[in-house]
Structure 1
């Protein structure tokens, strides 16, 4: 069954908003590593409800018990304030799957000297 043209437009708009959310998250720098949380692979999922603007960021940290969780959460709230469609923001820390350097982008690997 094919999608109606209106549904395709809604999907494209939703993806565009999610892309802007990810771009905003790229401004959130991990203070210990000096690389943004997206390129470090810490952001696992972005859920955005177009009708309410509610946004849930599912992410992890490089280590459990990392003392920077509150700092990163605050920086995420600040960064997403720049995305007009975002209303309520919830940051959910998840520990599965566990973060490894395999989740890092090529850029982050080069910046940190990891092969």
Structure 2
């Protein structure tokens, strides 16, 4: 079993395709993918639905809609066509720099 960089509950065969799809979505404000920025809080796949919980670095993020649309598009591209994709924007717990991956911290010079 390969670990996802966020909580994942669903079929094992979908884990890596989901991580790959989400890793293609870039937050244009920081030029890093949403997985490395720590914007993905969790993904559940059950009963014909993929539910992704994501956040933004700030409630004032000017590209929220763009990021959410890209997340849905990338997941839809790689998932079985019968799977309903639901992307939920959440604000709890608040995002913090602690959520950055090690590679994101290195990229930012931390």
For normalisation by structure 2, the TM-score amounts to 0.82
Structure 1 residue 18: deviation in Å?
2.4
Q: What does the per-residue CA deviation read over 1:16-56, in whole Å, with 9 as the maximum and x for residues that have no partner?
A: 3022111110000001000000011110000112x42x111
2:72 matched to 1:77?
yes
Structure 1 unpaired stretches of 5+: 1-12
Greater percentage in strand: 2
Match of 1:63 among 58, 68, 72: 58
CA RMSD across the alignment: 1.6
CA distance in 2, matches of 1:103, 1:83: 25
* 1:105 positional shift: 0.5
Unaligned runs of 5+ in 2: 1-9
Secondary structure, counterpart of 2:18 in structure 1: helix
Q: Which of these two proteins has the greater Rg computed from alpha carbons?
A: 1
Given the two structures, how large is their TM-score scaled by the length of structure 1? 0.79
Equivalent in the alignment of 2:3: none
The reply on whether 1:35 has 2:32 as its aligned counterpart is: yes
- CA shift, 1:66, in A, is 1.2
2:33 partner SS? coil
User: How many aligned positions are there?
Assistant: 100
